[in-house]
Amino acid sequence: MITVPVRLGERSYDVLVGRGARHRLLEVLPVGATRAAIVTQDGVGVDVDAGIEQRRFVIDDGEEAKCLETVEDLCRGFVRFGLTRADVVVAVGGGVVTDTAGFAAAVYHRGVPVIQVPTTLLGQVDAAIGGKTGVNLPEGKNLVGAFWQPTAVLCDTEVLETLPPREYRSGLGEIAKCHFLDPAHDLRDLGLDGKVARCVAIKAAVVEADEHEQTGRRAILNYGHTLAHALETSGHYDLRHGEAVAIGLCFAARLARRLGRIDDDQVKEHDDVVMSYGLPSVVPAGRDPHELVALMARDKKAVRGLTFALLGPNGVEVVVGIDKAHVQAALAEVLA
């Protein structure tokens, strides 16, 4: 079992990575908790035992379930269960579950402890780590949310063995992103537990430096995500998140090249990493580039014009006020 600490003062916690990590739930429960609300989906198929009174709360499948209506349903269910501020929410599932349950925990009674048990590769390397919780609006992805750090995260790599191939590949999109946040290590040389733990450590270091996105450092974790979120919204989530991120990485490399931040070899490296994981590198046919640019302009980072996390001489940085013509030209390079 690999333990990766997330050091945030009084909000610090450990991420446990390895086979059977979910069975460590009792060890990480908040002291004094007497009830556990287990939030999951029918298709997850992973059971946990909190060792205290627990009740299962099932949310719908799909990205459409990640909405304010689901949060309200959960909170009303917590009331009927008798969940108090001293108790705990346990999220068991992929990113939809961990994001939604985490947000419900953040707002119920103005905050109750949450333990994340991500059951997808995407959830283990990204979604469940760092305390970002939230839901979507029809106008865009993750537009309503809160920072709410978990009590612990249990990344049980055993449960990944039964993931559908496309769901597994979705997690590889976030691993591909980490290649460019930590270029000193080639994640492809590591085993599964090592890959997950290294990605967690990369994210933990960024979160520790900028927990609430006050300095802009944390926004580098959105590398590849600005186009990715636009693709997800425009296509009504026909792409998996990691697939969209992979396309976003290839786009971001071309945009950085147009701005003189990187060269052709670095663009090729993006394509090579993405393709080595069997991920798409071009925008699916039929997407409206004007709609995609408009959606990217609504991104949470875009407070001073079109804003992207881009690679450059000093690594991945946030670049603001990018001319729309550069964005349109880079997007044209990755259109199918």
Catalytic residue chosen out of the listed positions 22, 35, 177, 225? 225
203 annotated active-site = yes
Residue closest to 137 by CA, chosen among 73, 40, 39, 70: 70
Catalytic residue chosen out of the listed positions 158, 167, 208, 213? 213
Residue in the structure block whose two tokens are 């390397």: 125
66 annotated active-site = no
Catalytic residue chosen out of the listed positions 35, 66, 132, 141? 132
Catalytic residue chosen out of the listed positions 169, 222, 270, 300? 222
Phi, psi of 98 (to 5 degrees): -65, -40
314 annotated active-site = no
Catalytic residue chosen out of the listed positions 203, 254, 261, 270? 203
Count Cβ neighbours within 10 Å for each residue of 4-25 and write b for 16 or more, e otherwise: bebeeeeeebebbbbeebbebb
Sort strands 152-156 and 13-18 into parallel, antiparallel or unpaired: parallel
Catalytic residue chosen out of the listed positions 10, 80, 110, 304? 110
Question: How many whole angstroms separate alpha carbon 247 and alpha carbon 234?
Answer: 14
Catalytic residue chosen out of the listed positions 229, 240, 254, 301? 229
222 annotated active-site = yes
Contacts of 206 (CB under 8 A, 6+ apart): 130, 181, 217, 218, 220, 221
Catalytic residue chosen out of the listed positions 63, 174, 243, 317? 174
110 annotated active-site = yes
Catalytic residue chosen out of the listed positions 35, 218, 300, 301? 218
DSSP category for residue 188: G
Residue closest to 152 by CA, chosen among 246, 312, 11, 255: 11
136 annotated active-site = no
| Bridge partners for 54 per DSSP | 36
Q: What is the Rg, in whole angstroms, of the alpha carbon atoms belonging to the chain?
A: 19
Is residue 70 within 8 Å of 91, Cβ to Cβ? no
Is residue 148 within 8 Å of 106, Cβ to Cβ? yes
69 annotated active-site = no
Q: Which two tokens stand for residue 231?
A: 């693709």
Report the amino acid identity of residue 105: A
Catalytic residue chosen out of the listed positions 179, 240, 241, 270? 241
Residue in the structure block whose two tokens are 């270091």: 205
Question: How many whole angstroms separate alpha carbon 59 and alpha carbon 101?
Answer: 9
Q: Which two tokens stand for residue 4?
A: 């990766």
Query: For residue 96, how many other CB atoms are within 10 A of its CB?
Result: 27
141 annotated active-site = no
Provide the annotated active-site residues. Answer: 110, 132, 174, 203, 213, 218, 222, 225, 229, 241
